[in-house]
Amino acid sequence: MNQTRKLFGTDGIRGIAGQPPLDPKTIFAIGAALAHFLREHSENPHVLLGADTRESSPSIAATITHGLESAGARVHNAGVITTPGVAYLTHKHNFAAGIVISASHNPWQDNGIKVFGSDGYKLPDAVELTIEEEIFRQLENNHLPSTSNSATQPSIDTELVAEYEQYLLKTVAPLDLTGLRLVLDCANGASSAIAPDIFTKLGATVIVTHASPNGRNINDNCGALHPKIVAAETKAQNADIGVTFDGDADRALFADTHGNVVNGDAVLLLAARDLQTRGELKENLVIATTMSNMGLEAAFRRDQIRMLRAPVGDKYVLEAMRARQASLGGEQSGHILFPRLATTGDGLLTALVVLDVLRRAGQPLHELLADLKAFPQVIVNVKVREKRPLDQIPAVGEAIREAEEALKDDGRVVIRYSGTEALARVMIEAESQAEMDFHANRIAEAIQAELGI
């Protein structure tokens, strides 16, 4: 399809809670439209619902439930649970769809609606477009409620979260973490209750931070968006390793015992080498993204591992992986995909896999990654009022061309819009910090002048 989606971004529908498209009327329409779509494939569709810890999540969950049930769907509620937890349970129990109320790493004022198909995978773009068209048809119906006062959440089935925990514990068994000092930063999000429980059961000495959600502190100077926080705590606690999740725990970043941040690129290298050693890295291929560092590419070449780049977004990484039957892929931001184990990125699972590799190797994280030399990289975010094609803005295009010509084979220039926020991201990689900063700031200033808020 050549049509452009207006509501769905790279990871569901996001916005400021209470404002379109997350006002009650539109949320109800989303639920009704999804149920309408599911009814075409099932006479009595059952839908699994989960949410993170944002203040707005309960009301959004109640309203979308109202919309789903009004169009003939039946809703089962897992309560507060991670995004990958919903994906796993949706597939296991053959729900017609799984819905997560979350805006992942965004601030508490934002929220979102993510949808998984019955196979546990995120919906294809074409399906999202079909549902969007039905949402707009629903919105033309003047009988849709304008408030959520009449909507109530379905009762929570606590067994669903327990079942997800058991799946995680069994997936990398046997794993004994006795004697390991572990710092966990739960971002005051969906992993706050689950993560400490899992790693304690495995025998680790767990030091828990940012696991007291109050509805407004999710991702607030903590979590995967601020990995230096867990890195500092790991060093201060003389811990062996630190793990930090984002709000819905579909990604994880790490810290070594010296307080160094270990990002998704490093995790891909660690996992790829382990899979290669065990003969499980298909075609010696890893799928990364345009944001992955050139240093990772160089490390892979030394191990005769091929790296292909997909567009940013774990959804698009997974599409490339499935097309090539790759056994590993992921993003620098911490979304790591193990298709043999899960249908989507799972921060808790990633942490378990990393710890399993360390236990079997008998070496600390910093030693296993000692040869990974990342190119200096800078990312500048520019808030924008609209997302016009950048190549159609002469001043921006000229700044990009000059940067690409100056860097040539000694660096990279990646300019893109965020799929989840009103941001343009300017990423420059180069051996010269001064040259890198110059070009990044020049491009960012051109974007600011044309599109900035």
Q: What is the pLDDT of residues 120-141, one digit of tens each?
A: 999 998 999 999 999 999 998 7
435 pLDDT higher than 80: yes
Indicate whether 2 pLDDT > 60. no
Query: Pairing between strand 46-51 and 97-101?
Result: parallel
Mean pLDDT of 69-94: 97
Task: For residue 56, indicate whether it is catalytic.
Answer: no
Whether the per-residue pLDDT at 432 is higher than 70: the answer is yes
Please report the beta strands in 118-210, taking only residues with DSSP state E, as ranges in sequence order. 181-185, 205-209
Residue 413 in contact with residue 427, Cβ under 8 Å? yes
Residue 150: pLDDT over 80: no
Conformation bin of residue 32: beta by default, left when phi > 0, alpha when psi is -120 to 50: alpha
Close Cβ partners of 205 (under 8 Å, ≥ 6 residues apart): 179, 180, 181, 182
- Spatial strand order in the sheet of 423-430: 377-383, 423-430, 411-417
What's the predicted TM-score (pTM) here?
A: 0.88
| Token couple for 10 | 């790279």
Element (H, E) at 446: helix 433-451
b/e per residue 237-246 (b: at least 16 CB within 10 A) = bebbbbbbbb
Q: Which residue has the higher pLDDT, 418 or 259?
A: 259
The rounded percent of the chain whose pLDDT value lies above 90 is: 86
**pLDDT, position 1:** 37
**Among candidates 230, 194, 204, 163, which has minimal Cα distance to 80?**
194
pLDDT digits (tens, 9 = 90+) for 14-60: 999 999 999 999 999 999 999 999 999 888 899 999 999 999 999 99
Instruction: Give the CB-side neighbour count of residue 389, counting CA atoms within 13 A.
Output: 2
Six token digits for residue 371: 């040869």
How far, in Å, are 252, 267, 314, 452 from residue 333 at the CA level? 8, 10, 10, 25
Could you count the other beta carbons within 10 Å of the beta carbon of residue 167? 18
Query: Within a 10 A sphere around the Cβ of 306, how many other Cβ atoms?
Result: 15
Q: Which of 56, 57, 59, 104 is catalytic?
A: 104
What are the pLDDT digits (tens) for 112-123? 999 999 999 999
Average pLDDT taken over every residue of the chain? 94
Domains of the chain: 13-158 (3.40.120.10), 172-374 (3.40.120.10), 377-451 (3.30.310.50)
pLDDT of residue 315: 87
Please give the distance of CA 59 from its chain centroid, rounded to a whole number: 23
Q: Which tens digit of pLDDT belongs to each residue from 205-261? A: 999 999 999 999 999 999 999 999 999 999 999 999 999 999 999 999 999 999 999
pLDDT per residue as tens digits for the range 270-296: 999 999 999 999 999 999 999 999 999
Instruction: Please write the tens of the pLDDT for every residue from 317-368.
Output: 999 999 999 999 999 999 999 999 999 999 999 999 999 999 999 999 999 9
Q: How far apart are CA 123 and CA 129, in angstroms?
A: 10
Among 439, 155, 414, 162, which Cα is nearest to 310's?
414
